[in-house]
């Protein structure tokens, strides 16, 4: 009888331990960086990922895992090729790298170091960079800029992810890239629309291409400025401040660019929009006529 009781007790303890271990794996990335995560000494490596070499067309690249090559089918159209040609002198990659570098360098708790730009956008490349780093955490900033599928808007997006270098006990190296072990992740996007968009995608492409792609360059500059601003703000926020914009708080529900959410408030000539499903921060603006 006593042996049976001990076996039952042991079984309960094993079950309890298993439940606690399982609970630890249910964590998802926070939309802010908590004090415990910030308190890691030694600074952070920063990896800026820009896999593309030019503006992507016709792909909603806010789905930040979308293959870049999927956009190439749109480059055969002459108006699009003309617009891309006009943009080649506009070194957007260098500008956004500099802007994001300034953001992380001015975020005190990051102690950013070894800021690196890479074209490689894969789990393997991130894992290798994490292994090669001399810091306990690595901030990854994945950049995408594109038009939407109707070419009615130019979008600039950054996905910020904080990775931990230490491999979780009992796990393989790749586990560090799983959501269960990522302490922070936030998506930020700027959506700049044409005023009175055309009836067809081709008309919108023509308007973006006009005057040496002047409006496209303007939209990219707006996106760079606003995404950098929102990233800097988000990296400094605590839970209370971050929750303030994530909570609907009786805000009006709206739909923009195939996203359902609510408007938080005005910024410059646009508005801050929070997507309800994924909690992404989105800056929305329409260019002047």
159 occurs within a structural domain: yes
Query: Among residues 217, 251, 192, 240, which one has the least CA distance to residue 34?
Result: 240
One-character DSSP codes across 120-135? --SHHHHHHHHHH-SS
124 occurs within a structural domain: yes
271 occurs within a structural domain: yes
Q: Which domain holds residue 32?
A: 26-286
12 occurs within a structural domain: no
19 occurs within a structural domain: no
Between 224 and 78, the higher pLDDT residue: 224
78 occurs within a structural domain: yes
pLDDT, one tens digit per residue, over 225-271 is: 999 999 999 999 999 988 887 787 788 777 766 778 888 888 899 99
pTM over cut 0.85: no
On whether the CB atoms of residues 153 and 176 are closer than 8 A, the answer is no
253 occurs within a structural domain: yes
Q: What pLDDT score does 11 carry? A: 45
Domain count, the chain: 1
284 CB-near residues (< 8 Å, 6+ apart): 191, 193, 256, 257, 270, 271, 272, 273
**Least confident window among 73-82, 111-120, 230-239:** 73-82
Cα separation of 46 and 36, whole Å? 19
207 occurs within a structural domain: yes
Q: What pLDDT score does 78 carry? A: 62
DSSP state letter for 167: P
**Least confident window among 63-77, 84-98, 155-169, 174-188:** 63-77
Instruction: Name residue 188's beta-bridge partners.
Output: 158, 281
């Amino acid at each position: 009888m006593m042996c049976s009781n001990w076996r039952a007790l042991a079984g309960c303890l094993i079950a309890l331990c298993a439940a606690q271990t399982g609970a630890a794996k249910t964590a998802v990335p926070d939309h802010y960086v908590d004090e415990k995560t910030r308190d890691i000494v030694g600074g952070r490596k920063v990896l800026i990922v820009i896999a593309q070499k030019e503006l992507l067309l016709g792909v909603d690249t806010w789905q930040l895992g979308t293959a870049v090559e999927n956009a190439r089918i749109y480059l055969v159209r002459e108006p699009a090729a003309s617009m891309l040609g006009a943009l080649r002198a506009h070194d957007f990659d260098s500008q956004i790298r500099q802007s994001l570098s300034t953001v992380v360098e001015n975020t005190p708790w990051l102690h950013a170091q070894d800021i690196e730009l890479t074209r490689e956008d894969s789990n393997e490349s991130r894992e290798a960079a994490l292994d090669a780093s001399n810091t306990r955490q690595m901030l990854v900033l994945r950049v995408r800029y594109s038009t939407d599928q109707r070419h009615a808007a130019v979008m600039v997006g950054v996905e910020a992810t904080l990775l931990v270098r230490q491999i979780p006990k009992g796990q393989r190296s790749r586990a560090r890239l799983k959501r269960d072990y990522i302490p922070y992740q936030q998506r930020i996007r700027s959506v700049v629309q044409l005023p009175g968009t055309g009836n067809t995608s081709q008309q919108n492409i023509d308007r973006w291409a006009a005057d040496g792609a002047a409006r496209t360059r303007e939209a990219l500059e707006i996106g760079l400025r606003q995404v950098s601003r929102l990233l800097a703000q988000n990296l400094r926020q605590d839970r209370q401040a971050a929750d303030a914009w994530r909570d609907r708080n009786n805000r009006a529900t709206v739909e923009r660019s195939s996203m359902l959410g609510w408007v938080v408030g005005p910024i410059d000539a646009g508005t801050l929009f929070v997507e309800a499903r994924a909690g992404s921060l989105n800056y929305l603006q329409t260019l002047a006529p």
